[in-house]
Each structure stands twice: as structure tokens, then as C-alpha cells.
Amino acid sequence: MCPPNASSCPLHPPMGGNSCGVTPSHMTWADRTETMRLTAARLSKVLQLTLAVIKPDAVAHPLVLEALHQRILDNNFVIVRHKDLVWRTQDSERFYAEHSGRFFYQRLVEFMASGPMRAYILAREDGIRHWRELMGPTKVFRARYTSPATIRAQFGLTDTRNTAHGSDSVESARREISFFFPDFCVDEWMEREEPSFRSGQLHFDHQKQIHTLSAQS
């Protein structure tokens, strides 16, 4: 059960696909092809939720943000929720409280409150590991040499301005999802919606920019 008042921060301003809806019954051929591909990829594999954040350095460049959004879709992630937001300094301090006192803490806090960012709840089998592999190493220099096809290698600027964040464990995913999406209950989604998202046919709602269950599922 999720607590009625999950720990969260005020987010300014909440925008974007914060709720799922039923998709229209009509689908283009491209939509049907994508639906079949996603369905085949997900059969019998329990979906795991993770939090993904596109940081201010990437959101500042619309073409980069669009490329990263497409990279998520191309790698068979289900977009369960997403929102665009801007943090206050105190929001950033709370999220990174575990790093307080470390040499990079103040720089990181200030950077994450410096402009708009985008947060996603993503689902995929072994989603935490897959998203972290897609991001690549935290250190951009290392990413460019050891994992040149990753997000941080291709778009990262510095170890702080490294494009993306991802949860590193089931526990941190639960905590971070609650922080960014206080009205979303992981347990409830896993119990009530995960089986349908795993075995049903999905449609990508281009207006809401999230995946929804197709009307025939």
C-alpha cells in the first residue's frame, strides 16, 4: 500500500502526461506495427518501473530533448507518466540530501535547479538496468571511451551536466518516483495495471506522450 501522503516536493510547474486515458479506436499502420512489436517484446516478462530524468542541460536544447525521447521509445520502454518541471533550490537539496557534504553537492544542487527538466516513469523488463545501460557511465569522459553509443557519451558535457539521471535500485526507484510523482502509487500500478500493460496491446498517445492500453485490449 502507498501512504496517502507520500513524501514529495512542490514541483513548478507540473505539465505533460500525468494521467493515462483510453486511446482512440483508429490506429495508423505505423501505430499498429509499433503495437505488435511492443506486445511481442513484453509477453511473459514482468515490467519493472524506474525513474528517468532528462536534466536541464539537455532540456535547454529542443532537438536533443526530442532525440532522447525517441531513444526511450526505440529501446522498448513503456512511458507510464512524464512531466516537465522546474525545481526550486530546496527541492534539489531534498532530493540529493544523501550527498550533502560531498565535494560535488552544491554544484549539483544549483545545476538541477537552474532550468526546466523532464521526468519519466518508465517500464520495461529489468527496466532499471536497461535505462542505466542506455545512459552510460556517470563520468562523461569515461562514457565516451568505454560506451560511445550511450546517452551521456553522445550528449553529456561534464560529470554534472551529464544529460540524464536514473534510479539505481528498486528501492531508489520507488523513492524517486514518489518524489517526482507524489500521486503515483508503485504498488497499485504493479498490482492493477502491470499485467495489462505487459500482456495487452499498447498504443502511444502522441498528444499525452505516454503509452496507453489500446481500446481492444
Residues in binding site: 55, 104, 132, 138, 152, 162
**Cα 11 from Cα 15, distance rounded (Å):** 10
User: ∠31-51-24 over CA atoms, to 5°?
Assistant: 25
The values of phi and psi at residue 15, to 5°, are -140, 170
Nearest to 78, CA basis, from 103, 45, 107, 114 = 45
Strands in the chain per DSSP E: 12-15, 48-54, 78-86, 117-124, 164-166, 202-205, 210-213
Contact present, 98 and 36 (Cβ < 8 Å): no
| Residue of 165, 203, 206, 211 with catalytic role | 165
Cα dihedral sign, 196-170-125-6: positive
First to last CA, the chain: 27
**165 assigned to active site:** yes
**Cα 154 from Cα 170, distance rounded (Å):** 27
Residues in binding site for ATP: 55, 104, 132, 138, 152, 162
Residues labelled as active-site residues: 165
